[in-house]
């Protein structure tokens, strides 16, 4: 397993007030209209990429309006508020990989890109994303950037206290079992404890 970790922003976000000072999390009120409902994508195992047969990928279109001088901060605030601490701002690797030990949410703050989800070949699917979209990847889902605009910017976030290392090799039987046992998130990264992720993943 290749353990590649990106810049962490927890300290900066805490100083900037994006994490609640008390250490508690205030969740969004999904009783209000306008909760974005995601598209779902399901993937079978694909060679060395396990994907996740239990949990679908969630694709939220135009979930956050990327306005202002620092649109990435809007995604960071939303994710932090809903229990997914932001960890980095960057792009997406241009090689196939997956996270065996955590689920991941990607917020597209600027630009656009073509991605492959689910790994190479006929099982993988090309998905185009643009500023404002959000994608949640269950543990084990392969992903890779095909091409992106020069201004492409992504915010990455994960449930608390998870190992965000990546893998580019097949998992052994123990590794696959551990991947299947990655805990369910307690909230949707956009709309909290009653959001679509909780309802679709816990069903």
Q: What is the mean pLDDT of residues 106-133?
A: 98
Phi, psi of 149 (to 5 degrees): -70, 160
Tens of pLDDT along 83-103? 999 999 999 999 999 999 999
Give a yes or no: residue 131 inside a domain.
yes
The reply to whether 127 falls in a domain is yes
Domain count, the chain: 1
Residue 25 counted as domain residue: no
Q: Measuring CA to CA, how many Å separate 197 from each of 106, 123, 136, 150?
A: 14, 23, 9, 31
CA–CA separation, 152 and 98 (whole Å): 20
At residue 35, the pLDDT reads: 85
Find the mean pLDDT for residues 110-120. 98
Proportion of the chain above pLDDT 90, given as a percent:
82
- Per-residue HEC secondary structure of 50-95 comes to CCCCCCCEEEECCCCCCCCCCHHHHHHHHHHHCCCCEEEEECCCCC
With a cut of 60, say whether residue 10 has pLDDT above it.
no
- The H-assigned helical ranges of the chain are 10-16, 71-81, 173-180, 196-201
CATH number at residue 142: 2.60.120.10
Domain membership of residue 111 as a residue range: 10-17+38-201
d(CA 44, CA 69): 40
Q: Is 28 domain-assigned?
A: no
In which residue are the tokens 């065996």 written? 100
Write down the pLDDT at residue 52: 97
Q: Establish how many alpha carbons lie within 13 A of residue 71's alpha carbon, considering only the half-sphere containing its beta carbon.
A: 19
Task: Tell whether the model's pLDDT for residue 6 goes beyond 80.
Answer: no
* Predicted local distance difference test score (pLDDT) of residue 193: 93
Q: Is residue 88 part of a domain?
A: yes
**Rounded mean pLDDT of the chain?**
87
Query: In this structure, is residue 23 part of a structural domain?
Result: no
pLDDT in tens, 122-181: 999 999 999 999 999 999 999 999 999 999 999 999 999 999 999 999 999 999 999 999
Q: Examine residue 165 and state whether it is found in any structural domain, yes or no.
A: yes
């Amino acid at each position: 397993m290749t353990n590649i970790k990106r810049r962490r922003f927890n300290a900066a976000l805490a100083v900037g007030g994006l994490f609640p000072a008390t250490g508690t999390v205030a969740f969004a009120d999904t009783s209000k209209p306008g909760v974005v409902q995601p598209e779902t994508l399901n993937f079978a195992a694909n060679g060395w990429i396990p994907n996740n047969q239990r949990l679908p990928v969630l694709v939220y279109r135009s979930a956050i309006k990327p306005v202002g001088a620092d649109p990435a901060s809007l995604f960071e605030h939303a994710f932090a508020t809903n229990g997914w601490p932001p960890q980095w701002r960057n792009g997406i690797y241009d090689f196939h990989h997956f996270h065996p030990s955590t689920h991941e949410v990607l917020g597209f703050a600027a630009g656009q890109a073509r991605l492959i989800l689910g790994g190479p070949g006929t099982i993988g699917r090309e998905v185009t994303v643009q500023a404002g979209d959000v994608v949640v990847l269950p543990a084990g889902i392969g992903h890779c950037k095909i091409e992106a605009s020069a201004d492409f910017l992504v915010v990455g976030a994960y449930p608390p206290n998870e190992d965000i290392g990546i893998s580019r090799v097949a998992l052994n039987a123990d590794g696959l079992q551990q991947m299947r046992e990655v805990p369910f998130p307690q909230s949707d990264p956009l709309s909290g404890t009653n959001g679509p992720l909780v309802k679709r993943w816990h069903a």
